[in-house]
Chain A
Amino acid sequence: MDAGLFAQYVMNGLMLGMMYALVAVGFTLFFGVLDIIKFSHGDVLMVGAFTALATYIGLHALGIDSNWLNLVVMLVLATLAMALLGMAIARYLVMPLRSAPALNTLLITLMLGTVLRESVRLFYPQGANPKPFPALLPRSAIDIGEFNLRLDNVLMLCAGVLVIVGLQFLLNRTKLGLAIRAVAQDEETARIMGINFTAIVLITFAMGSGLAAFAGVMNGLYYNEINFGIGLYLGVIGFSAAIIGGLGSIYGAILGGFLFAGLQTAGTVMLPFASAYKDVFAFAVVIAIMAWRPTGLIREKISERV
């Protein structure tokens, strides 16, 4: 294959992988602290993207035209709004179901996802239509043969890497991170050690949901189009990515995200007769991985309680 074309595929795969990884990291965070799957994660991402878009429209109406300023305000507002939403979800939907089977949490967050999706569709002005998302990053591009390297893509990749590194730092090098990891490892012992369990759960949900908002904005900037349905698909893929990586491990989620994107891209390149089968291929590989490594590629450290 032409090298330029190959580079283009790699770039496409990296961008996709970064988005999946960001979503998957959210799943893994929630699972870490509470052992639950929060399925509304993808829809929170979508709401985050719409919040950013609404902010942009608002700023635009105020006559603020600086792209960078707009972007920063959008990111801050969307992240904060989603962090609040995440905390509200944790407080009013997830925590009350602590004693119920895990499946109930999955279902209630799934229904919440439907509520969010339908609400945007119904209550955002013309919410059923695809919405243009402004391209706020510099769009200059270099053509290297068949490869079209765009500055905005590079910036987004860097930003994604920075966020993940930052999160990693937060979890491993700060007191808050220590508390989160303690709760993740053993809730009761953590409580005994004087960690405010509820606060830690709320903070984790705020972080995960803020991350979703970031991924949502990135999704918008990358595709320049958002619609109310983007969350469902990204949510399911992010979930699968988190699982094949190994729940509870940030590295696993990142690995899973890029692996999934790689599978989809490879599916298109290697199955030239049927690029439509790329998702079939990707999911089949997921099932095979689960058969091979039943607790994910990076194994969750659990011991069988007898």
Chain B
Amino acid sequence: MTNTAQRTAVAIAAVIFTFAAVSAEAKDKVKVGFIGPLTGGVSVNGLGGRNSADLAVRLRNANPNAKYEYELVVLDDECKPNVAVQVATKMAADKDIIAGATHYCSATAIATVDVYHKFGFPVIVWGAVLPDITYRNKYAEVHRVNGTMINQNDANAELISRLGYKSVAVIHDTTDYGKGHLEYFSKALDKIGKTKIVGTFGVTADQQDFTSELTKIKALNPDVIYFGGLTPIGVRIRSQMDKLGIKAVFDGTSGIVSDAYIQGLGPLAEGTLAFREGAPAEKLPGGKFFMDKYNAQKYDNPPEAYGAFAYAAMDMILDTIEQVGPDRKKVIAALGDVKNRDSIVGKITFDDHGQNTVPVVTKYVVQDGKFVEWFESEYESGKRKLPGQK
């Protein structure tokens, strides 16, 4: 019995210890959140975003003029809607976390907007491109610094029509992200009216073997295979196209703009098209500043395609908290008024849905193992040719 009594004492001590630890926290510490895919197939993008957000917090904490000391709470959405809802609930339910930069994957961002609304938690989306995230509802809590997929699909359709391609087969993942791409891409193609979609194939995100779909596509013999999805299956599809001797151009979206895509394919990546809203990091207004600071921190991963946006989102959150104090409601109100704000990704203006308008779309083509801007590439100059390029 004495042992049991002792253990009771230990347990009570533990409880007391816990409270002591919680209440001992410094008063001026403010928590901010980051959510992205840190594990799974697209984790490089998530880690790049995490590092960039972390950079914003570190730079702010190093600034002697900052009013608060910030602590970054990082959660992993695994690029899965169900996990995202769990971690978003966790973050939004924690009253100590004032605001968050959230989500790379559209499928997760669209699943969580209701959670943020329910808990009144202000977020700035840093990577997901589905228009519905900001436009389906009019939630004051949800903002986005990067552009939507509408613009990139317009640019995409314009380029392949200009290159003289007549037929496209579409492969898309069956999340809202892939479906969204299918929708906006077909709309954009219809508007131009020179190119036809000859077949559409929905695939699941964990599928390994695409030979059946690709064999069907082979029979359709399209000029271009458009792919609305993320890097892991993009890599698989591109390499299995080669297996089946399909010569069509592989035309991707912002979801494959990542070093992992090129690493995963090696020489096969050559000639892949991809599109992304916003200028490449080195051409952004604050691009050099960002890259220098990022490299100085010696992170394990590069910032990847959306790192600069994650930095901008987090920086804006910190700015706003400095301005109005650590209060969710005030932060939401202040974010609603963002107009022409300078940031490393250029001027940011949120419209009434919290959407930043990013007019620039960068067209990429993979050339010699790098994503090169189309207009600077040897494909544009005619030195090299894509399959079937006129």
The answer to A–B direct touch (Cβ < 8 A) is: yes
- Contact, CB under 8 Å: A150 / B243: yes
Q: Which residue of A lies closest to B245 (CB)?
A: A148
Chain B residues within an 8 Å CB radius of A131 = 263-264
A190 to chain B, nearest CB (A): 39
Chain B residues within an 8 Å CB radius of A130 = 41, 231-232, 235-236, 260, 264
Binds B, one of A4-12, A60-68, A202-210, A239-247: A4-12
- Contact, CB under 8 Å: A264 / B212: yes
Count of chain B residues near A, Cβ 8 A: 36
- Contact, CB under 8 Å: A132 / B44: no
* B240 lies within 8 A of chain A by Cβ: yes
Contacts A8-B218, A146-B218, A229-B206; A129 near B212 (Cβ below 8 A): no
* A224 lies within 8 A of chain B by Cβ: yes
Contacts A225-B236, A276-B174; A2 near B219 (Cβ below 8 A): yes
Chain A residues within an 8 Å CB radius of B203 = 276
Chain A residues within an 8 Å CB radius of B211 = 12, 15-16
A271 to chain B, nearest CB (A): 11
Chain A residues within an 8 Å CB radius of B297 = none
- Contact, CB under 8 Å: A121 / B208: no
* A162 lies within 8 A of chain B by Cβ: no
* B165 lies within 8 A of chain A by Cβ: no
Please name 13 further chain A to chain B contacts, defined as beta carbons within 8 Å, in addition to the given A16-B209, A126-B260, A268-B216, sorted by A numbering. Answer: A121-B39, A128-B44, A130-B236, A132-B239, A132-B266, A141-B245, A143-B245, A148-B218, A148-B244, A223-B243, A233-B208, A268-B213, A276-B204
- Cα-based distance from A285 to B306 in the complex (angstroms): 44
Residue from B44, B239, B244 within 8 A of A126 (CB atoms): B44
Give 1 or 0 for each of B244-272: 1 = CB within 8 Å of chain A CB.
11000000000000001001111010000
Give 1 or 0 for each of A251-290: 1 = CB within 8 Å of chain B CB.
0000000000000110011000001101000000000000
Residue from B43, B204, B239 within 8 A of A225 (CB atoms): B239
- Cα-based distance from A276 to B178 in the complex (angstroms): 14
* B202 lies within 8 A of chain A by Cβ: yes
* B201 lies within 8 A of chain A by Cβ: yes
* B61 lies within 8 A of chain A by Cβ: no
Residue from A8, A225, A234 within 8 A of B244 (CB atoms): A8
- Cα-based distance from A16 to B218 in the complex (angstroms): 19
- Contact, CB under 8 Å: B206 / A9: no
Q: Which residue of A lies closest to B209 (CB)?
A: A16
- Contact, CB under 8 Å: B240 / A223: yes
A17 to chain B, nearest CB (A): 11
* B215 lies within 8 A of chain A by Cβ: yes
* A227 lies within 8 A of chain B by Cβ: yes
* A214 lies within 8 A of chain B by Cβ: no
- Cα-based distance from A126 to B42 in the complex (angstroms): 11
Chain B residues within an 8 Å CB radius of A50 = none
- A residues bordering B, Cβ < 8 Å? 2, 5, 8-9, 12, 15-16, 121, 126, 128-132, 141, 143, 146, 148, 150, 153, 222-225, 227, 229-230, 233-234, 264-265, 268-269, 275-276, 278
Chain B residues within an 8 Å CB radius of A121 = 39
- Cα-based distance from A153 to B218 in the complex (angstroms): 18
- Cα-based distance from A153 to B204 in the complex (angstroms): 25
* B40 lies within 8 A of chain A by Cβ: yes
- Contact, CB under 8 Å: B202 / A276: yes
Chain B residues within an 8 Å CB radius of A128 = 39-41, 43-44
B214 to chain A, nearest CB (A): 9
- Cα-based distance from A5 to B264 in the complex (angstroms): 29
Q: Which residue of B lies closest to A274 (CB)?
A: B202
Q: Which residue of B lies closest to A131 (CB)?
A: B264
Chain B residues within an 8 Å CB radius of A276 = 174, 202-204
Contacts A8-B218, A148-B245, A150-B243; A129 near B266 (Cβ below 8 A): no
- Cα-based distance from A55 to B213 in the complex (angstroms): 33
- Cα-based distance from A128 to B239 in the complex (angstroms): 18
- Contact, CB under 8 Å: B264 / A222: no
- Contact, CB under 8 Å: B208 / A230: yes
Q: Can you list 13 A-B pairs, Cβ within 8 angstroms, ordered by A?
A: A2-B219, A15-B211, A129-B263, A130-B235, A130-B236, A130-B264, A223-B209, A223-B236, A224-B242, A233-B206, A233-B208, A265-B212, A276-B174
Q: Which residue of A lies closest to B301 (CB)?
A: A126
Contacts A132-B266, A275-B201; A222 near B44 (Cβ below 8 A): no
- Cα-based distance from A230 to B207 in the complex (angstroms): 10
Chain A residues within an 8 Å CB radius of B264 = 129-132, 225
Q: Which residue of A lies closest to B233 (CB)?
A: A130
- Contact, CB under 8 Å: A132 / B40: no
- Contact, CB under 8 Å: A129 / B208: no
Chain B residues within an 8 Å CB radius of A233 = 206, 208
Give 1 or 0 for each of B351-386: 1 = CB within 8 Å of chain A CB.
000000000000000000000000000000000000
Contacts A128-B44, A130-B260, A225-B236; A12 near B212 (Cβ below 8 A): yes
- Cα-based distance from A44 to B232 in the complex (angstroms): 21
- Cα-based distance from A85 to B268 in the complex (angstroms): 34
Q: Which residue of B lies closest to A5 (CB)?
A: B219
- Contact, CB under 8 Å: A8 / B236: no
- Contact, CB under 8 Å: A275 / B212: yes
Residue from A129, A153, A265 within 8 A of B44 (CB atoms): A129
Residue from A12, A225, A229 within 8 A of B215 (CB atoms): A12
A65 to chain B, nearest CB (A): 15
- Contact, CB under 8 Å: A225 / B235: yes
Chain A residues within an 8 Å CB radius of B268 = 132, 224
- Cα-based distance from A264 to B243 in the complex (angstroms): 19
Q: Which residue of B lies closest to A233 (CB)?
A: B208
Chain B residues within an 8 Å CB radius of A9 = 212, 215
Closest 9 CB pairs of A and B: A268-B212, A148-B245, A12-B211, A130-B264, A128-B43, A129-B260, A224-B239, A130-B235, A132-B266
Chain A residues within an 8 Å CB radius of B240 = 223
